[in-house]
Amino acid sequence: MTPRFAQPNHHSHRTRFHLNRRHFLRIGGTGLMGISLPGLLAAADSPTALPARADSLIVLFLNGGPSHLDMWDMKPEGSADSRGQFQPIASTLPGVPVCEHLPQLARQMKHCTLIRSMHHSVNNAHALAVYTAMTGHDRGDANRIVGQADDDHPAPGAALAKLRPATSHIPPYVCLPYKTKEGAAGPPQPGFFGGWLGRDYDPLWVLKDPNAADFSVPELTLPGDVDGQRLTARGQLLVDLNARALDVQQRHSFATLHRFQEQAAEILTSPVTRRAFRIQDEDDATRDRYGRNIYGQSVLLARRLIEAGTRAVTLSWAPDANATWDTHSGNFTKLKETLLPQFDMAFGSLLDDLQQRGRLDRTLIAVLGDFGRTPKINNNNAGRDHWNYCYTVLLAGGGIRPGFVYGASDKSGAFPKENPTTPADVLATMYRLLGIDYRAALYDRVGRPHQLVKLGNAIDAVIS
């Protein structure tokens, strides 16, 4: 079927480039710290900040493509081969029911906006759909490399790390608990990295299960042969080298490395960071509310990180694109028994805690996915297949209009009927709320100008 609202292909010239720090990091025969802790450099040349409605961002990414028709855009009057097995229940937003297996979401709908008219141009490749959903840009040819590249557009968390860096000694941008792959043996999906902003704005990846009794973050542990004194000595060496540099480019390189070293050392030795990751400090009742599973505890950890000063946390649901929400078969069983209860508990508890702690108004929450699922049920496997022509996004907190529905799908949930909306529009809205001018020119490592969002526009109607 031909998409009725497909976004046109726009892709930039893609020139690979790498900033080679290895020579500098190997001064004295050892690495600067023996670890990589990206995403720590503040912006040197940043556009003027706009008034921000939100200070931080939590993205819950439902990898694989959640079924809008079985969650929050149900069609109970539809035909037998499309309406599904679940019943709608009333929510706290009058006239807007949700699935019976989402009782916590039903309770929280008064705080949320649903955008029911989402669409984009990517249907077959998860990696390319994820990239579009996370950046607002079309990556182009489905046959090209599906892994991340240095000239990709940055994730919103990376943009926040650069343009509104963390004020406390804590990683500004964190992704957990999976680095979702394109297939079980494929490369990590793009859309979560620093891209042309540089690898310094990649996230800190926490690829451990917060539900495990021995959960810890090895990336925040100093190697055995490095202590605080050695970190200080290496920092002083870079200062000395900077003073002796013969040209501006050399001085900039050494100064940049010194800032990186200083900020990395501050994070590694920061009690704020260590406390934030100590999820074991939460009482049992709180951990039970979020759900004793990897995703529920990851959402709880996201709340702790945001409270400690992290600007952006993105949670990926699945280890690979074909797991969890990619329900080509067993759609209703998987949703009922695992996916919906886990999401519902974690999401409801997150909004409860942020509201009770006075943080919901300053924390923007986005529930995103690759795309939606087909209106017609695959009778052979009781599943739904990929459907990019219409799906739903949920936004809450941080300047979002509470208790609102924007756009509408047609009677079968197949195409937008009102206000067709693209991922670029959603990203533009998120950036505006976060105080970032998404039209301003930002420059990559070789001086080329870029815009965070080029084709989309912020959706005024969903902003409170």
> pLDDT tens-digit profile of 382-400?
999 999 999 999 999 999 9
Where do runs of H (alpha helix) occur along 291-338?
294-308, 331-334
Side-chain-facing half-sphere of 183: CA atoms under 13 Å: 7
Distance CA 245, CA 24 (A): 13
Give 250-268 as a DSSP string: HHHHHHHHHHHHHHHHHHH
- What is the predicted pLDDT for the residue at 135? 98
- What is the predicted pLDDT for the residue at 379? 80
- What is the predicted pLDDT for the residue at 73? 98
Distance CA 402, CA 108 (A): 10
pLDDT digit string, tens, across residues 82-113 = 999 999 999 999 999 999 999 999 999 999 99
- What is the predicted pLDDT for the residue at 8? 36
Rg for the chain, CA atoms, rounded: 22
User: What is the separation of C-alpha 292 from the centre of its chain, rounded to a whole number of angstroms?
Assistant: 22
Beta strands in 112-163 (DSSP E): 112-118
Q: How many CB atoms lie within 10 A of CB 423?
A: 27
Q: Is 54-217+283-462 in CATH node 3.40.720.10?
A: yes
Where do runs of H (alpha helix) occur along 357-406?
none
Mean pLDDT, consecutive 10-residue stretches, the chain (464 aa), reads 39 36 35 36 55 98 97 94 95 98 99 99 90 93 70 96 90 95 84 95 95 90 58 51 51 51 70 94 98 98 98 92 88 97 99 98 98 94 96 99 99 98 99 97 93 97 98
429 contact partners, CB below 8 Å, separation of at least 6? 395, 458, 459, 462, 463
Distance CA 222, CA 225 (A): 8
List the domain boundaries for the chain: 19-48+223-268, 54-217+283-462
| Burial class of residue 195 (count of CB atoms within 10 Å of its CB; 0-12, 13-18, 19+) | buried
Distance CA 155, CA 131 (A): 9
Phi, psi of 364 (to 5 degrees): -90, 130
Distance CA 57, CA 55 (A): 7
- What is the predicted pLDDT for the residue at 263? 67
Distance CA 297, CA 215 (A): 11
